[in-house]
Amino acid sequence: MQRITIVGLGLIGGSIGLGLRKWSAGEGRADAAIEVIGFDTDLDQQHYAKKIAAVERAEWDLGKAVRQADVVILATPVGAMREVMTDIAPHLQSGCVVTDTGSTKADVVTWADELLPRTVSFVGGHPMAGKAQSIEAAEAGLFQGATWCVSPSVRAADEAIRNVLGMIAALGAEPFFVDAAEHDAYVAGVSHLPFVLSAALMKAVSADASWRDMKTLTAGGFRDFSRLAAGSPAMHRDILLTNRQAVDRWLESYIGVLGEVRTLLARHDDEAAEGLHAFFDQARDARAEWATQTTREGELLHGTAAELSPENIGDQMGRMLMGGFARRRKSALDRVGRGTDRKGARRD
């Protein structure tokens, strides 16, 4: 039997425990293939993890929790990982595999190389899945079909990497090998930038004197965009502090795009309308290309089936909101794009 210790029993840690125990029970063996032990500094989290059977037992002492573990999964906030590694290092048995679920990788891999014993293999990990943060939202199928980034330390043993890949497969996720620095550069754009923007939106509109009246007009678009601002401030702080340069680069790029929009808005001519239409057109096309990516089984990769239809989504929404006037405006812009003047005559 393999002993697995999960340090940190929130949404991710709890879901890993549930998923691994479900996989183990589904093997059809008389005895369980694994034993899952949990540890969390919050005793309520520990009690709840045991209640929902995410772990078989929980330990009150971190050293004792990891002492005989074959695999240790660090599912704590990134900001806590250095301290956790320091605390567990003297208690890890030779041959133990340590992995994590942190949202940044370069600093975490560096800490592991510095702090963990040479007899231990570290394989960095990051499951690209999540929703709420509390263990109350944990579920065994959280990682089904999700991408799980894998960034092994240079001294991680091949067997340790295979062990982590086996765990990822048991949870139904797809492994994606990536260098730690590249990982941080990529997720800064697709994960970290979005929650900065979401928080910035909330800060900007809620600080306005009209917010009391404005908020009664909010609808689905505002709800979707602002959702990430409801995340843990401590988690977001730690992620940005361990990925400063990459996030700064994407902020600069985003600010540049916003500057282009402001420039167009300052103009009062047909080219302003053309430029704004092109801006939204390009964004819509890029979104559609992303939304229609498929898995090897032909399923939509990002679960976007509900928002797709045989019709052009932009045209469909325009007709819903403005009837034929949306199409009329687009037709006029199309004529301009084909080289016609306002009366329809060729300019060349």
As averages over each run of 10 residues, the pLDDT of the chain (348 residues) reads 95 96 76 88 94 95 97 96 98 98 97 98 94 79 95 97 97 97 97 97 97 95 94 92 97 98 95 96 94 76 66 49 50 46 41
pLDDT at 31: 57
Query: Which residue shows structure tokens 């800490």?
Result: 111
* pTM of the entire predicted model: 0.82
Q: pLDDT value at position 293?
A: 83
The predicted pLDDT at position 56 comes to 95
CA distance 249 to 188: 9
The tokens for 9 are 């029993």
Residue 142 is predicted with a pLDDT of: 96
Domains, the chain, ordered by start: 2-178 (3.40.50.720), 180-266 (1.10.3660.10), 268-348 (no CATH)
Render the burial of 153-190: b for 16+ CB within 10 Å, e for the rest: beebeeebbebbeebbebbbbbbeebebeebbbbbbbe
d(CA 182, CA 36) in angstroms, rounded, equals 32
Residue 130: its pLDDT value, please? 74
